[in-house]
Amino acid sequence: MLQTPRQIVTHGLLLGLLLTLLAASGFLGVVHWYSQTDRLLPGVTVGLARIGGMRLQEARSYLEEAAASDQRLQAPLALRYSNQIWELPQLQVAAAPDLDATLRQAAALGRRGSLWMRAKEFLVGLVHGHYLPLKVDVKEGALLAHLERVAEEVERPPQDARYDISLAQFTDEVFGLELDKEASLEAVRAALDAGRPEANLVVRPVAPAVRKADVPDGDWYQIARFTTPILAAEPGRVKNIALAAEKISGQVVRPGQIFSFNEAVGPRDPAYGWAQAREIYQGEYVLGYGGGICQVSSTLYNAVLLAGLEVMERYHHERPLQYVDPGRDATVVWNVLDFKFRNNTEQPLVMTARILPGSPQQLEVALHSPEPLPTPVRVEEDDLRYYPPEMEEELDPTLPANQRKVVDEGHYGLEVKVYRVYGSGRGERRELVSHDRYLPKPGKVRVGVGNAPGSEKLLNPGIH
């Protein structure tokens, strides 16, 4: 029976579809068989080594030979940021290639998901191939140590907008830079795996806490001011006071922010410009770098009290000072003792500090706010008690009997309470700020025993 042209086309399509299904089922059978073996998919290439179709152990041996002859790790890896480049010796941070991790990734091809998904990966391997980098076992500690050294050159802290007292205006803020070490580590790891000669470091901007646009326009009111005389005007001391005043002057303290004197002034080290000058250590005056900056922290402390701000951390010296009343000082020691206060107002505050001319010169610290102080504040001392030093006696056979010679006067101690008083008259409110006690230091006096019976034994303690 003859077929019509339409029947011929229909039968041809059915036959083609049948053959396609048979081919597809055969292809899927091959895919299924492959996924049950330890053979890698066709078209798999690791680095420069073609290992498609090999068994895992055969592929491992082949990769070991390829890695042994690969000279890429002998060359330095270039770490790049902007126009800066640091050379990283790859052998310092990269061990032998991680064949286990590489082969696990290669063996997973064509063995994940449904049969159709595996068939797709198989087909991609046949047509385009699968390229995998030869993973490198990175010595993470050594790499992070190298990135830390790079960070010292790259990073810079942000600079807040601050008030320039000489220009009577706010300066612009400056964004900082920070090396993202984790992201940079991954970038280096990817470059080592892929055998690329360089890696781009990840550096992120760091926003300043205070921007010029955030500072209110308009009038600023001086809400507190305090001055102390610079009585010991040695060059090193004056230099340190001026440097510390410069570091805190113009800083903006945001509402709710805790200001740290140590954080603002930084470590007292000659590398940062500090000079040697006298300072109190264990009750005695000794030479030390940064000597004199306690006058800045003490002057700021009094301005903070007069502004009604909350004191978070403060310590008094071991002995009373000359430039400020007892109970009104604030000593600071880098990484040990700090002076901190909190801006407990709803407005930003600006502090200014400078040395005023005169004889003696005066250190001035003032606090400014967009709003005037709502209630007047004053500071008072009360319950002041003095404790004279005890005198320790030492017998001295070189002095005539009963003659006394003071060799160390020691220093007196005292106890004092400091109050902050808000308002005046009937509506005033008193707040105890501190209750300090400065311990006395014993003095020393020599008492003569010369020409007294038995004094020759004191002169010659070895003769009996």
Output the 3-class SS for 236-304. Answer: HHHHHHHHHHHHHCCCEECCCCEEEHHHHHCCCCHHHCCCEEEEEECCEEEEEECCCHHHHHHHHHHHH
Check residue 459 and give its pLDDT: 44
Give the CATH number of domain 375-464; options: 3.20.20.80, 2.20.230.10, 3.40.50.1170, 1.10.1200.10: 2.20.230.10
Check residue 463 and give its pLDDT: 36
Residue with tokens 């993470």: 140
Can you read off the two tokens belonging to residue 247? Answer: 């570091």
Do 261 and 287 contact (CB within 8 A), yes or no?
no
The domain segmentation of the chain, as residue ranges, is: 36-209, 216-371, 375-464
Check residue 132 and give its pLDDT: 72
Alpha-carbon distance of 410 to 460, in angstroms, equals 30
pTM: 0.70
User: Which H or E run includes 20?
Assistant: helix 5-35
- SS3 for 53? coil
Can you read off the two tokens belonging to residue 48? Answer: 């420069």
| Reduced DSSP (H G I as helix, E B as strand, rest coil) percent helix, strand, coil of the chain, to 5 | 35, 35, 35
From the list 188, 160, 189, the residue with the least C-alpha distance to 173 is: 160
User: Which H or E run includes 365?
Assistant: strand 362-369
Number of H helices, E strands in the chain: 11, 27
Residue with tokens 């270039």: 78
Burial 72-109 (b: 16+ CB within 10 A, else e): bbeeebebebeeeebebebeebbeebbbeebbeebbeb
From the list 226, 447, 259, the residue with the least C-alpha distance to 350 is: 259
Do 238 and 230 contact (CB within 8 A), yes or no?
yes
Alpha-carbon distance of 313 to 365, in angstroms, equals 19
Can you read off the two tokens belonging to residue 315? Answer: 């310590």
Per-residue pLDDT tens, the chain, 464 aa: give them. Answer: 454 565 455 545 555 554 454 455 666 677 667 677 778 778 788 766 787 778 878 877 877 776 666 555 567 888 999 889 998 877 667 656 677 777 787 788 777 777 777 777 777 767 777 777 666 677 788 888 889 999 999 999 999 999 888 888 889 999 999 999 999 989 988 887 777 788 999 999 999 999 988 888 888 999 999 999 999 888 999 999 999 999 999 999 999 999 999 999 999 989 999 988 777 665 566 666 778 899 999 999 999 999 999 999 999 998 889 999 999 999 999 999 999 999 999 999 999 999 999 999 999 999 999 999 989 999 999 999 999 999 898 998 889 888 889 988 888 899 999 999 999 888 899 999 999 999 998 989 999 887 655 544 444 443 33
Integer Rg of the chain from CA: 40
Burial 339-365 (b: 16+ CB within 10 A, else e): bbbbbebebbbbbbbeeeeeeebbbbb
Alpha-carbon distance of 245 to 235, in angstroms, equals 15
User: Residues near 371 by Cβ (< 8 Å), separated by ≥ 6?
Assistant: 221, 345, 347
Check residue 462 and give its pLDDT: 39
431: phi then psi, degrees, rounded to nearest 5: -130, 125
Check residue 366 and give its pLDDT: 97
Alpha-carbon distance of 53 to 176, in angstroms, equals 53
